[in-house]
């Protein structure tokens, strides 16, 4: 098969990016990419550690003149978020990512691209493969499950990592140096469903929320984009007392760390009530079209016949509780930072709603750079859930990464940036989790920085990466490594 990225520079970076794009690597499915990297290291006679969580550590000796330099860790994660357009036929467990060059950008055909964080893997492989790049002793750390809980980083054996300077390549804006991030945790609300037989003579219909932009539940929460699950909750609660309907299912979103773009509810109604529901949908399209005219101009609420009727529906009590939970569970920005202008301090994203055999679940990703506020959001969720008869559980907590006043690696990055571009790099903190928080907890004396090339619309099928930015960022990284003595 001809290579799509064959003529792009830096040649070896894009060569390896295309290689790994052919290997399925959604969160929880990293064994294949982990094995591939272990084999890659062995072929080059490099020391490699592959643990039971599919984390990979690869060590490469310093080049001549750098033998006494401090060891540098190049770090990224193996997994990617697997999102696709509803019309796209793609099996993330088996199919390669279909790469497309679009001007200065690389994108995928109807799916996420996986540049988050495949570009870090490609940079690391190009460094390990090189024979003429000056660098100190290198230790490449590529972790698993970053996108859905960071279990790879959380379970990393501290003895497997020797370096105490770490360069994380998981930031998405060129010219920025990330120095702090939010911590997070997952909250799941589970409501048991009482099922009953539907009334005779009802028609099955669907209410669909479509056309939202979605995005990363941390990085893009500041953009105030619509959440399809919350929008559907508002509509269902509005209908509870105004229209007679039975509820057969509610489903929305694919990942709790992605702002959901689509959601739908299957309802059963009498034919004579359909005009009233249509009026409701027209009204909600006007209301929501006004509210989201800037952030999500493509938003549309659809109402259509669903075909075959459902054989069971929620009881009246379960229907009311499910709709109210969908509407009331906290979502969006909760607090803004008083220290850093424009930084979201804490938020929560109701990312996935799923109707199961005996329950309906509501999964949220909670984030904050202040630990106590993170737990306060969970407490609010618990109070609402318990008031409506649901069970609330929490899992996958990870720590925040606090700003360090003194950082030698940050000083090198700042100095090199000024020399190369004639201007200062932007020092930023983000409202998203990166694995640096976990590394700081494991290695209190570690000195870290995070940077990367320009990526756009990550965690969505619109994800794309700037080709020229990849080249500039690569040259920046090489210059930094040359300066670490």
Average pLDDT over residues 420-431: 94
Instruction: Indicate whether 138 belongs to any domain.
Output: yes
Please report, for the domain that includes residue 207, its CATH number. Answer: 3.30.70.360
Average pLDDT over residues 13-35: 98
Q: What is the pLDDT of residues 207-235, one digit of tens each?
A: 999 999 999 999 899 999 999 999 999 99
Task: List phi, psi (to 5°) of 92.
Answer: -70, -15
Average pLDDT over residues 76-95: 96
Cα–Cα distance between 299 and 395 in angstroms, integer?
Answer: 32
Please report, for the domain that includes residue 60, its CATH number. Answer: 3.40.630.10
Secondary structure class of 335 (helix, strand, coil): strand
Whether residue 295 is found in the same domain as residue 214: yes
Instruction: Indicate whether 256 belongs to any domain.
Output: yes
Average pLDDT over residues 229-247: 96
Q: What is the pLDDT of residues 97-153, one digit of tens each?
A: 999 999 999 999 999 999 999 999 999 999 999 999 999 999 999 999 999 889 999
In DSSP notation, 378-413 reads HHHHHHHHHHTT-EEEEEEEE--B---S--HHHHHH
Which has the closest alpha carbon to 75: 187, 150, 183?
Answer: 150
Instruction: Indicate whether 249 belongs to any domain.
Output: yes
Whether residue 358 is found in the same domain as residue 321: yes
Instruction: Indicate whether 15 belongs to any domain.
Output: yes
Whether residue 173 is found in the same domain as residue 199: no
pLDDT band at 5 (very low <50, low <70, confident <90, very high): very high
* Residue 85 contacts residue 461 (beta carbons within 8 Å): yes
Whether residue 427 is found in the same domain as residue 363: no
Cα–Cα distance between 234 and 248 in angstroms, integer?
Answer: 17
Taking the CA atoms of residue 140, residue 56, residue 473 and residue 183 in that order, the dihedral angle to the nearest 10 degrees is: -110
Q: What percent of the chain has pLDDT over 90?
A: 89
**Average pLDDT across the chain, whole number:** 96
Whether residue 18 is found in the same domain as residue 88: yes
pLDDT band at 381 (very low <50, low <70, confident <90, very high): very high
Average pLDDT over residues 2-28: 97
Total domain count, the chain: 2
* Residue 116 contacts residue 80 (beta carbons within 8 Å): yes
Residue 404, pLDDT score: 85
Whether residue 25 is found in the same domain as residue 52: yes
State pTM to two decimals: 0.70
Residue 1, pLDDT score: 64
Instruction: Indicate whether 394 belongs to any domain.
Output: yes
Beta bridge partners of 186: 365, 395
Average pLDDT over residues 229-251: 96
Q: What is the pLDDT of residues 355-376, one digit of tens each?
A: 999 999 999 999 998 889 999 9
Cα–Cα distance between 303 and 287 in angstroms, integer?
Answer: 16
Residue 434, pLDDT score: 85
* Residue 400 contacts residue 435 (beta carbons within 8 Å): no
Burial of residue 31, with CB atoms counted within 10 A of its CB: 0-12 exposed, 13-18 middle, 19 or more buried? middle
pLDDT band at 94 (very low <50, low <70, confident <90, very high): very high
Residue 403, pLDDT score: 84
Last residue of a domain, one of 398, 419, 450: 398
Residue 217, pLDDT score: 94
CA dist list (Å): 40 to 11, 33, 36, 46, 53: 18, 10, 6, 9, 18
Whether residue 432 is found in the same domain as residue 303: no
Q: At what angle do helices 31-43 and 115-129 cross, to 10 degrees?
A: 10
Q: What is the pLDDT of residues 311-370, one digit of tens each?
A: 999 999 999 999 999 999 999 999 998 877 899 999 999 999 999 999 999 999 999 988
Active-site amino acid positions:
79, 146
Instruction: Indicate whether 194 belongs to any domain.
Output: yes
Residue 397, pLDDT score: 87
- Boundaries of domain holding 130: 11-182+400-483
On the question of pLDDT at 200 being above 80, the answer is yes
Whether residue 148 is found in the same domain as residue 278: no
Whether residue 293 is found in the same domain as residue 377: yes
Average pLDDT over residues 400-416: 93
H or E segment to which residue 325 belongs: helix 316-328
């Amino acid at each position: 098969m001809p290579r799509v990225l064959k003529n792009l520079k830096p040649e070896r970076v894009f060569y390896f990016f295309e290689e790994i794009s052919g290997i399925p690597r959604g969160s929880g499915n990293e064994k294949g990419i982990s094995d591939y990297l272990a084999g890659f290291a062995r072929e080059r006679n490099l020391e490699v550690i592959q643990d039971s969580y599919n984390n990979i550590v690869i060590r490469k000796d310093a080049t001549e003149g750098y033998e006494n330099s401090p060891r540098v860790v190049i770090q990224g994660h193996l997994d990617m978020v697997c999102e696709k357009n509803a019309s796209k036929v793609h099996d993330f467990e088996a199919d390669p990512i279909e790469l497309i060059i679009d001007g200065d950008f690389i994108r995928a055909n109807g799916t996420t691209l996986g540049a988050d964080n495949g570009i870090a893997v490609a940079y690391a492989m190009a460094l390990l493969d090189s024979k003429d790049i000056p660098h100190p002793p290198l230790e490449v750390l590529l972790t698993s499950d970053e996108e859905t809980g960071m279990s790879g980083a959380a379970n990393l054996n501290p003895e497997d990592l020797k370096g105490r300077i770490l360069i994380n390549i998981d930031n998405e804006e060129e010219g920025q140096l990330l120095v702090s991030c939010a911590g997070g945790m997952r909250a799941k609300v589970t409501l048991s469903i009482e099922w009953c037989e539907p009334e005779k003579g009802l028609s099955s219909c669907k209410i669909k929320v479509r056309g939202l932009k979605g995005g990363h539940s941390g990085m893009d929460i500041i953009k105030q984009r619509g959440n399809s699950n919350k929008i559907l909750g508002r509509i269902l609660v509005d209908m509870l007392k105004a229209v007679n309907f039975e509820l057969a299912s509610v489903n929305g979103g694919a990942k709790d760390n992605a702002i959901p773009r689509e959601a739908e509810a299957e309802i059963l109604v009498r034919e004579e009530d359909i005009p009233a529901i249509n009026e409701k949908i027209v009204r909600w399209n006007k209301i929501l079209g006004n509210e989201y005219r800037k952030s999500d101009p493509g938003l549309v609420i659809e109402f259509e016949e669903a075909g075959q009727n459902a054989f069971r529906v929620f009881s009246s009590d379960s229907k009311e509780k499910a709709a109210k939970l969908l509407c009331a569970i906290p979502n969006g920005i909760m607090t803004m930072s008083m220290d850093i202008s424009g930084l979201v301090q804490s938020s929560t994203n109701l990312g996935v709603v799923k109707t199961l055999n005996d329950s309906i679940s509501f999964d949220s990703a909670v984030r904050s750079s202040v630990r106590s506020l993170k737990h306060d959001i969970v407490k609010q969720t618990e109070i609402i859930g318990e008031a409506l008869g649901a069970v609330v559980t929490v899992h996958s907590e990870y720590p925040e990464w606090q700003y360090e006043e003194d950082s030698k690696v940050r000083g090198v990055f700042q100095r090199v940036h000024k020399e190369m571009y004639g201007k200062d790099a932007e020092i930023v903190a983000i409202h998203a989790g990166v694995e640096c928080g976990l590394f700081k907890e494991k290695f209190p004396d570690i000195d870290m920085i995070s940077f990367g090339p320009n990526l756009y619309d990550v965690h969505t099928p619109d994800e794309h990466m700037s080709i020229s930015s990849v080249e500039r960022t690569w040259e920046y990284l090489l210059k930094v490594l040359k300066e670490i003595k």
